[in-house]
Amino acid sequence: MSEADLKEELPGAADDTAPEGMPESETLDEDNRLKPEFVRNVKEALDDEDSDRVYDLVEPLHPADIADLFELVDERERLTLARSIRDLMGVEVIAEMNDWVREALMEALPADVVAEIAGGLDTDDAVAMLEDLDEADQQAVLAEMEPEDRAAIESALSYPEESAGRMMSRDHVAVPETMTVGDLIDYLREHRELPTEFWEVFCVDPMHRPVGTCSLSWILRCPRNIPLYDVMARDQTLIPADMDQEEVALRFQKYALISAAVVDTSGRLIGQITVDDIVHIISEEAGEDALLLSGAGDGDINEPILLTVRARLTWLVVNLATAMLASSVVGLFQGAITRFALLAVLMPIVSGMGGNAGTQTLAVVVRAIATNQLTDSNTARMIWREFRIALTNGLALGVLIGTGTALVFGNPLLGAVIASAMLINNLVAGLAGILVPVTLDRFNVDPAVSSAVFVTTATDTMGFFTFLGLAVLTGLA
């Protein structure tokens, strides 16, 4: 390999732009987002169909910012933008682009152009790009690709969605453990087809099963004559290809991994996952719970609006049913309400506060389950913990609202009734907030998706029932 070749291949060589992270950028604001003025300039140039001006504006941007730019311009401007900056649309731009934006763009482009782009990507990025296309478009693109790339992508697509097999990169460095450090360095220098960026070298046995991992920093610090089996860490985290990406993300976090070997069912090394692919997943999975709990579905602001409406409306209709159930509880007490309308004025306070307390517990418990902090070993202790919290909060809120009600309306019995109902509903909220998600989890139902409906139903119906029921029982109305 000549030096000239190598210089061309290495990322550093061609790249002479100014360092990022500097405060005085013309395009980025202090939060490292593209400035509105800049985006406006690009949009004006797009409206004027002035491709050269668009190109000049976009050219100095980092690929990740170009990817962001696609999100920030209007949908109808995106294809024009892509056409104007055709030769800037490199691997990194495509890989960093929002899934929905990329999908729409890919559907608008002819199959051979998409195939050309996919051919230039790593397998994992190409799979991410193609997996959301519909079957016919996918086949059309695959038909245009080189047989080798095509085989790699088809093999990745054979693994379940969101599994390690889909997200792994086939490119990795695997060598026999009997190699010495010096031989490994020579091998790396001589083989151009190896990936340009990797962080660990995997040692394999003759069956290509991983037996150890060598961090590059150890290799660099060892004398050339040391064999790898003396350098490698044998204590590896192996990722089965069918493992769910959420599980993969948890392993990377737990064991602070930089990269990990992916193995097939017979234990052979078939690829690697690196931490830079994982950070997106960690962020997605951790942020997802807030969206799921609220019934906002995917929650991506670039999602096509009809899909968003369908996801949110489904959830709202389910909640409408539970709201009607709670309302029918109120219906049982119409007579009491006619006699004493103040009950109708105060009842939303009891149900609403129960809902708030339930949501708090739920958010905490769902997060603890997702991060493997809440397991069978400490569930009983945590139920007891939530009970004590609910009891304390219920007593405090009960005294507060009870005293206030008694004083404002000059009716101590009404105060006592609302105070008791508040306490009881807080206990209902706290217990439902932990028991519902824990039970769903035990039945392998994602607690983030379905817990909220049950908890809200419990706090609404019990809120109305205890308050109105106690009012009738005590002869208030």
- Pairing mode of beta strands 210-215, 239-240: unpaired
Farthest-apart Cα atoms in the chain, separation: 96
- Pairing mode of beta strands 269-274, 259-263: antiparallel
56 near a copy of itself, judged by CB under 8 A: no
Residue 83, beta-bridge partner list: none
User: For residue 287, what are the contacts with CB-CB under 8 A and spacing of at least 6?
Assistant: none
Span 371-390, contacts to a copy of itself by CB under 8 A = 371-378, 381-382, 385, 388-389
> Contact with a copy of itself (CB under 8 A): which of 26, 148, 196, 206?
196
The piece of 111-119, 141-149, 151-159, 206-214 that touches a copy of itself (CB under 8 A) is 206-214
Span 83-112, contacts to a copy of itself by CB under 8 A = 96, 98
401 near a copy of itself, judged by CB under 8 A: yes
Identity of the residue numbered 236: Q
> Contact with a copy of itself (CB under 8 A): which of 183, 251, 399, 411?
251
Cα distance between residue 318 and residue 327, in whole Å = 14
The piece of 45-53, 108-116, 149-157, 239-247 that touches a copy of itself (CB under 8 A) is 239-247
Q: Which two tokens mark 322?
A: 């539970």
Span 276-335, contacts to a copy of itself by CB under 8 A = 276, 278-280, 282-284, 286-287, 289-291, 293-296, 299, 301-302, 305, 308-309, 312-313, 315-317, 319-320, 323-324, 326-328, 330-331, 334-335
Which contacts (CB < 8 Å, 24+ apart) does range 285-291 have?
285/245, 285/246, 285/249, 285/370, 286/370, 288/448, 289/363, 289/366, 289/367, 289/370, 289/448, 290/363
Q: How far is the CB of 156 from a copy of itself (least distance, A)?
A: 20
Q: What are phi and psi of 72, to 5 degrees?
A: -85, -25
How many CB atoms within 10 Å of residue 368?
17
Is residue 198 within 8 Å of 298, Cβ to Cβ?
no
77 near a copy of itself, judged by CB under 8 A: no
208 near a copy of itself, judged by CB under 8 A: no
Span 451-470, contacts to a copy of itself by CB under 8 A = 460, 464
If the CB atoms of residues 138 and 180 are measured against a copy of itself, the closer one turns out to be 180
- Residue 274: enclosing H or E segment and its boundaries? strand 269-274
- Residue 210: enclosing H or E segment and its boundaries? strand 210-215
Q: How far is the CB of 352 from a copy of itself (least distance, A)?
A: 5
The piece of 50-58, 123-131, 153-161, 197-205 that touches a copy of itself (CB under 8 A) is 197-205
* Residue 238: closest CA among 285, 172, 180, 194: 172
134 near a copy of itself, judged by CB under 8 A: no
**CA 354, 360, 361, 367 torsion: positive or negative?**
positive
Cα distance between residue 152 and residue 243, in whole Å = 19
20 near a copy of itself, judged by CB under 8 A: yes
Under DSSP, is residue 437 helix (H, G, I), strand (E, B) or coil?
helix
Q: Which two tokens mark 43?
A: 């949009």
Cα distance between residue 272 and residue 287, in whole Å = 25
- The owner of tokens 């202090």 is 30
If the CB atoms of residues 60 and 110 are measured against a copy of itself, the closer one turns out to be 60
Cα distance between residue 71 and residue 39, in whole Å = 11
Site string for a copy of itself, 353-372 (x = CB under 8 A): x-xxx-xxxxxxxxxx-xxx
* Residue 195: closest CA among 2, 3, 10: 10
- Residue 425: enclosing H or E segment and its boundaries? helix 412-442
The piece of 50-58, 106-114, 140-148, 395-403 that touches a copy of itself (CB under 8 A) is 395-403
68 near a copy of itself, judged by CB under 8 A: yes
The piece of 115-123, 133-141, 143-151, 235-243 that touches a copy of itself (CB under 8 A) is 235-243
> Contact with a copy of itself (CB under 8 A): which of 392, 403, 439, 474?
392
If the CB atoms of residues 142 and 441 are measured against a copy of itself, the closer one turns out to be 441
> Contact with a copy of itself (CB under 8 A): which of 44, 49, 230, 445?
230
If the CB atoms of residues 271 and 355 are measured against a copy of itself, the closer one turns out to be 355
If the CB atoms of residues 139 and 327 are measured against a copy of itself, the closer one turns out to be 327
If the CB atoms of residues 139 and 372 are measured against a copy of itself, the closer one turns out to be 372
162 near a copy of itself, judged by CB under 8 A: no
344 near a copy of itself, judged by CB under 8 A: yes
If the CB atoms of residues 85 and 430 are measured against a copy of itself, the closer one turns out to be 430
